[in-house]
Amino acid sequence: MEDKCKVIAIANQKGGVGKTTTAVNLGVALGHMGKKVLLVDADPQGSLTRCCNIDNPDVELDVTLSELMAYEMTGEDKDYILINNAVEHFETVDLIPSNISLSGTETALFNCMSRESVLKRTLAPLRSRYDVILIDCMPSLGMMTINSLVAADSVIIPCEPSFLSVKGLDLLLHSIAKVKRQINPGLKVDGVLLTMVDSRTINAREITAALRDAMGININVFNIEIPRSVRATECPNVGESIFVHDPGGKVAEAYALLAKEVNGLERQTQVRPRPHSIR
C-alpha cells in the first residue's frame, strides 16, 4: 500500500521562537480538517508533552520516545503493544511524549550504527496510521535534530522577526542542505514561518520585509504570520491548544489558515498569493 504519510520536522536551533506552539496548534488544526495527526516530542525538555496536558512527564510516563528509540538501537522488536503504550491522546491529535530520559538517548546515539536514522526507523511502523507526523525538534543542531531531519519529508522553520532569530537561519539552512545532500535527498523546506509578529513595531515590519525579500525567491516564507498574543502564551499553563483556549482569537485563525496552506503545499504553484497577516 502506498505510504501517504507526510513527516514534517519543526526546527530551529534558537529557542523561544514558537516551535512547540506551532507543533501543537498546527497539529490540532490539521486534526480539525479530518487529518490523522501524530505529534512527536523530540526534545528532552518535554515542552510539547507538557503543552499536551501531561504535567509531570518525568514521573507520569512509562513509555516515551526514549524507550522506543532504545529498542530500535538495541535491535529488539518494537511490538505494537509497546508502541500503543507510548501513544497519548490530546484533543484532535495523538502524541509520542518525551521526558528527560531522551537526553541519555541522544548520548547513546553516538555509539550506534546508522545513528542518524534511528528516529526514522522508530517511526516507520507508525506511518501507515497517520496522514501527518509533526516532529517538535530540540533547540540545537545536535544528534536528535539530525535524526529528526533524516526522518522528515520536509521542514517548517518558525522564526521570530528579530535580528538574532534571522541571523541564525543561515546555519540551520546549511545543516538542512547538508542532511539533504548526504543522507536524505528527498528533504525539502516547506517554508519559514514568522511567529510572534507584532506589526505595530517598525523593527518587526522592517525585518519581516527584509526576510521576505532575501528568501522569498529560493525559500518559501509562509503567507500566514502568527501574531504575538498573551492568550497563546497561556496555553501551556492550562494544557490546551489555542483552539480550546481562545477559539475566536487571531492566533487560532492564523493557525487554521496555516494548516490549509500546509495541506495544499503539494498543489501550490510557483505564483503565491500576497502575504496574509492576521492582526
Rounded to an integer, what distance in angstroms lies between the CA atom of residue 44 and that of residue 69? 13
How much is the pLDDT for 198? Answer: 81
Q: Which domains does the chain have, with CATH numbers?
A: 6-267 (3.40.50.300)
How much is the pLDDT for 153? Answer: 95
- 13, burial (CB in 10 Å: exposed 0-12, middle 13-18, buried 19+): middle
Cell triple for 253: 485563525
Rounded to an integer, what distance in angstroms lies between the CA atom of residue 107 and that of residue 111? 8
How much is the pLDDT for 56? Answer: 84
How much is the pLDDT for 170? Answer: 83
Rounded to an integer, what distance in angstroms lies between the CA atom of residue 18 and that of residue 197? 11
Mean pLDDT split into 10-residue runs, the chain, 279 residues: 83 88 95 95 92 85 88 73 80 92 85 87 91 93 92 93 76 91 94 86 79 77 89 88 92 94 64 43
How much is the pLDDT for 219? Answer: 86
Q: How many residues does the chain have?
A: 279
Q: What is the DSSP track for 7-40?
A: EEEE--SSSSSSHHHHHHHHHHHHHHTT--EEEE
How much is the pLDDT for 80? Answer: 63
How much is the pLDDT for 42? Answer: 94
CB 195 within 8 A of CB 165: no
3-state secondary structure of 41: strand
How much is the pLDDT for 278? Answer: 46
How much is the pLDDT for 258? Answer: 94
Can you tell me which residue has the cell 497577516?
277
How much is the pLDDT for 78? Answer: 63
Question: 205: which residues sit within 8 A by CB, 6+ positions away?
Answer: 199
How much is the pLDDT for 272? Answer: 42
How much is the pLDDT for 109? Answer: 85
CB 18 within 8 A of CB 235: no
Q: What is the value of pTM for the model shown?
A: 0.88
